[in-house]
């Protein structure tokens, strides 16, 4: 049975936002009427990661309004979120498949059907129109916040200007499918369009909601979408003294349901010695490939063949 961590925050009632103003349920587009960036914030990529929904609810209650350009606030996998159950909180991650693995054109424009694909298809125009995009997530295991920059150095540069969180991740993608922040121009080094994904902490700890709100406010201020003082006056957390990049060198991907970690790993734990056993899967044994190997988001909760169970990386300033 999956470990059940304390639920310190409550899933917000987002029913008031259902109608939206775009013709797509739960999507709100705020247009300043002036030239400026097209900025998008997305919550509920996974239905049990609701710190992002708390952040969007906060912004809408605070009357967020762009001073320039457009601002899109999207609650994504609302069908999964609607079935959140305190007694089985992992059930609401998705309905049919992971919404954050379907963003390649082959999936979106192909014949395959699922609840998540249908939702992604109607949200695709908003994603493809965004100049800057922040995707709000959280993690099953306790871990300090991580900014996922996909494989994009430009996203790392943006996160450094943002100033939060302390850990920035450059990874190798997911073998199970393309994430939204990697889609199209977001993954093109020559394009100024930039997307990042914040893992705010453990799904249901109070601090995850604080990180989500603070990060959205800093993102809006940096993008120029809102008046800087409006955002600054609402900051919740002090920025870290230093930011470090974790450069992932390889994912550890389950081949079978017999995958097991060599021991319990903590998120962002640094393993001092190369050759330390990480996990086994039948005859396959993964070991740390170098000294001071960082264990990025290790978790058994979503075990199935083809799933990334942990990423192996190293810190750089």
Name the residue among 192, 108, 180, 123 with its Cα closest to residue 150: 180
Q: Are 216 and 18 in contact (CB under 8 A)?
A: no
Task: Check pLDDT > 70 for residue 3.
Answer: no
- pLDDT classification of 127: cutoffs 50, 70, 90: very high
Q: Assign 90 a pLDDT band (cuts: 50, 70, 90).
A: confident
Kindly list the distances between the CA atom of residue 197 and the CA atoms of 2, 42, 147, 309, in Å, as whole numbers in the listed order. Answer: 25, 10, 6, 18
Residues 32-64 have pLDDT tens digits of 999 999 999 999 999 999 999 999 999 999 999
* All structural domains of the chain: 15-232 (3.40.630.10), 248-316 (2.40.50)
pLDDT value at position 1? 39
Q: Which residues contact 220 (CB under 8 A, 6 or more apart)?
A: 39, 41, 64, 71, 226, 231
CB-based burial of residue 146 (10 Å sphere; 0-12 exposed, 13-18 middle, 19+ buried)? Answer: buried
Instruction: Look at residues 137, 134, 103 and name the one whose alpha carbon lies nearest to residue 117.
Output: 103
Q: What's the rounded mean pLDDT across residues 183-211? A: 96
Q: Does residue 202 have a pLDDT over 60?
A: yes
- The least confident of 51-60, 169-178, 206-215, 256-265 is 169-178
pLDDT higher than threshold 50 for residue 209? yes
The arithmetic mean of pLDDT across residues 255-275, rounded, is: 97
pLDDT grade for 4, boundaries at 50, 70 and 90: low
Share of the chain above pLDDT 70, in %: 98
pLDDT, tens digit (0-9, with 9 covering 90-100), for 269-316? 999 999 999 999 999 999 999 999 999 999 998 899 988 999 999 998
pTM: 0.95
């Amino acid at each position: 049975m999956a470990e059940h961590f304390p639920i310190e925050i409550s899933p917000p009632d987002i029913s008031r936002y259902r109608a939206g103003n775009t013709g797509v349920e739960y999507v709100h587009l705020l247009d300043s009427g002036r030239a400026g960036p097209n900025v998008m914030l997305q919550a509920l990529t996974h239905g049990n990661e609701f710190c992002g929904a708390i952040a969007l609810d906060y912004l809408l209650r605070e009357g967020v309004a762009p001073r320039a350009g457009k601002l899109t606030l999207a609650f994504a996998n609302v069908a999964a979120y609607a079935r959140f159950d305190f007694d089985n909180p992992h059930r609401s991650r998705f309905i049919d498949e992971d919404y954050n693995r379907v963003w390649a054109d082959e999936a979106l424009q192909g014949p395959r059907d699922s609840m998540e694909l249908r939702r992604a298809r109607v949200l695709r125009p908003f994603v493809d129109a965004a100049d800057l995009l922040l995707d709000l997530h959280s993690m099953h295991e306790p871990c300090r916040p991580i900014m996922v920059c996909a494989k994009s150095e430009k996203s790392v540069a943006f996160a450094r200007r943002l100033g939060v969180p302390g850990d920035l991740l450059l990874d190798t993608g997911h073998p199970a499918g393309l994430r939204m922040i990697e889609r199209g121009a977001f993954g093109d080094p020559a394009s100024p369009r930039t997307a990042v994904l914040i893992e705010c902490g453990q799904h249901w700890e109070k601090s995850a909601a604080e990180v989500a709100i603070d990060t959205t406010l800093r993102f809006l201020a940096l993008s120029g979408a809102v008046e800087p003082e409006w955002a600054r006056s609402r900051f919740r957390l002090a920025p870290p003294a230093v930011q470090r990049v974790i450069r992932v060198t390889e994912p550890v991907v389950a081949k079978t349901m017999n995958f097991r970690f060599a021991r319990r790993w903590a998120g962002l734990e640094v393993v001092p010695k190369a050759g330390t056993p990480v996990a086994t899967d039948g005859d396959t044994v993964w070991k740390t490939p170098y000294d001071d190997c960082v264990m990025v988001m290790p978790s058994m909760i979503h075990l199935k063949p083809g799933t990334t169970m942990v990423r192996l990386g190293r810190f750089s300033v």
